[in-house]
Amino acid sequence: MEQEKLVIQSAPHIHSPMTTQKIMFYVICALVPAAAVGVFYFDIRALVHLLLSILFAVLTEALVQRLVHKPITIRDGSAIVTGLLLGMNLPVAAPLWIGPVGAAFAIVVVKQAFGGLGHNFMNPALAARAMMLAAWPASMTTWTSPFDGLATATPLAIMKTGISDATALPTYWNMFIGNIGGCIGETSALVLLLGGVFLIYKEVIDYRIPLAYMATVFLFSSVFGGNGFDSGLFNLLAGGVMLGSIFMATDYVSSPATPRGRWIYGIGCGLITMLIRLWGSYPEGVSFSILLMNIAAPLIEKFTTPKKFGEVAKKK
């Protein structure tokens, strides 16, 4: 937080060279390949979606901060990340106004109304997506296949309605490189993983949350999915697990800060995702699972705060 000049803390005083701006820059770098793949598969319309979402996220942030007489902080890049993530969470066939509306909702209601960057209690982009899914369910679930733009179903939706013939499901290779129906930025597991590795290498995100999330999804669906490790692999590659676990669940503000808490948080996200996918009424549960765990994050933190140095456990 740049505006908080005076921070009083006990030792050790370690200065980190990481600034908000730098972190956001790295996140954008990691996201751009996945977004580019989305544009490659879903044509120029995907690019328009992405740009509109980013533009309106930044504009609303500036507008709100101006209206409430706060310093305008659009230069820190957090609004760009929110807009980009939101755009990547849209199906390409959705009407073009939906990105701007979602971006405005994310910034005004979820971020600025609670005090701006660092104070949002859940991930703004995801909360906006959940709102739009509830508001315009038809527009938000109209999927098209890559390249030809014909109406199709996502692999998860095919699973949900029951497989009529074995050829309906895409091959694992297509799911891995992203040649399937889905949101603009969620289809290609390959580039999302590359982005994730880059962020972990740069120490922007902690490996614990994505790892716990993916492992839980894989194991849970292997046991309960009905098809052994096939189900596990399928559920890992389908839908938004990659995008969600690497880029959304790891949001600093709305995820726990303690290492043990992060394991619990990731496992919780994975469990809820799979519960919704296997037995819920929605085909996909990534956004809702992360939002629910966002709300649980303060509680997790409370129970996993490490002991202070020299502290002795209270005798009962």
Measured distance CA(25)–CA(170) in Å, rounded: 34
- Which residue, 111 or 262, is less far from other proteins as judged by CB? 111
Beta-strand pair 143-144/151-152: antiparallel
**Cα separation values, 209 from 71, 95, 234, 246, Å:** 33, 33, 20, 8
Nearest approach in angstroms of CB 277 to other proteins is 22
Is 93 a binder of other proteins (CB under 8 A)?
no
Q: Is the peptide bond before 298 cis (omega within 30 degrees of 0)?
A: no
Q: Work out how close the CB of 282 gets to other proteins at its nearest, in angstroms, rounded to a whole number.
A: 15
Closer of 67 and 151 to other proteins (Cβ): 67
Query: CB under 8 A: which stretch of 134-142, 222-230, 234-242, 286-294 binds other proteins?
Result: 134-142
DSSP label at residue 48 = H
135 contributes a contact to other proteins by CB under 8 A: yes
Q: How many whole angstroms separate alpha carbon 213 and alpha carbon 230?
A: 18
What is the identity of the amino acid at 143? Answer: W
Residue 226 sits in the site that holds other proteins (CB under 8 A):
no
Among 18, 75, 96, 137, binds other proteins (CB under 8 A): 137
Phi, psi angles (nearest 5°) of residue 218: -65, -50
Shortest distance in whole angstroms from residue 111 CB to other proteins: 14
- Sign of the Cα torsion 242, 243, 245, 247 reads positive
The minimum distance between CB 63 and other proteins, in angstroms, equals 15
What x/- string results for residues 246 through 275 when contact with other proteins is judged by CB under 8 A?
------------------------------
Closer residue to other proteins in complex, CB, 195/285: 285
**End-to-end Cα, the chain, rounded Å:** 40
Closer CB to other proteins, 1 or 96, in the complex: 96
Contact code string over 102-131 relative to other proteins, x by CB under 8 A? -------x---x-----------------x
Residue among 300, 248, 247, 244 nearest 273 (CA):
244
Other CB atoms within a 10 A radius of the CB of residue 311 amount to 8
Q: What does the DSSP 8-state code read for residue 251? A: -
Instruction: Residue 119: count other Cβ atoms within 10 Å of its Cβ.
Output: 12
Q: Smallest distance from the beta carbon of 108 to other proteins, in angstroms?
A: 9
Q: Which is nearer to other proteins, 25 or 114 (CB)?
A: 114
Contact (CB, 8 A) for 101 and 93 = no
- Selected from 1, 68, 223, 295, the binder of other proteins by CB under 8 A is 68
**Residues at the site binding other proteins, with contacts judged by CB under 8 A:** 68, 95, 97, 109, 113, 131, 134-137, 139
